[in-house]
Structure 1
Amino acid sequence: MLFGEEHVKRYRETGGAEGHDWNDSTVLLLTTTGRRSGEPRTSPLIYQRHGDDLVVIASNGGDVKHPLWYLNLEADPDVEVQVRDEVFPARARAATDAERPELWKLMTATWPPYDEYARKTARKIPVVVLERR
């Protein structure tokens, strides 16, 4: 099963032929700029389409802290996204309070453990909208 750096490597090498479809879900590669290092950091993330946008969840498995990729995009919301073999620039933003319920439902239909992760933590898990630039 692909995970972490190996997932990113195989996804890139195969244009997403390996790694896009994962555990009955779909995965994109999100590249942020390290808020301290300034270096590119790539994370494989479960996503769904919502209109022209893509949606990901900063769950960190229900940990008390946000994932590092989310902290990076808070510092610099200009990101790079790869979906299959298409690579494009995007701007990341947290879903508005009005958008969040619909997008959360979309994502939990894709990956039901998100509800469990939300119960495990006191933090409000961010729903992130990726808008193509």
Structure 2
Amino acid sequence: MAARAVTEGDLGAWLLKCDPRVNPELLTTAGTGVVRVTSRCVVPGYRAAMMQEGDRVLLWVSGDGRRMARGIWGLGRVTGVVDQTADRPAVPVDIPLFPSALADADLRVAGIDDLEVQRMPAGSNPSWVSRQQWADIEPLLGAAHRS
């Protein structure tokens, strides 16, 4: 299935993925409330160009789920624009990690099974969440999951 084009009118939040096998610092600090993700690599293109300071952004931990639960581990904001001319373009963000994940399994139980990251787990950053999907996710973010 091809990725759907995102428009400003559809955007509820950006979603940035990371894999604990590639980002092992997540393993030692997840759940402590200490870690803040401050940058994530993105693929140059129209999505990266759309990312603006203040945009809502979710952090999705991918992988096989053995090291960390697959799902949403953080909620924050984009803090600047992407320099698409850099060798490894990255978006500056401020995403505090949650004490525990809003796991993919929990999202699916709640009927949220159509996120781009769920349909195409190997897709590149940035992914996105529609306004309707955000409206479905937001109530699931309890006190432990709010930024």
TM-score, structure 2 as length reference: 0.28
More strand by share: 1
More helix by share: 1
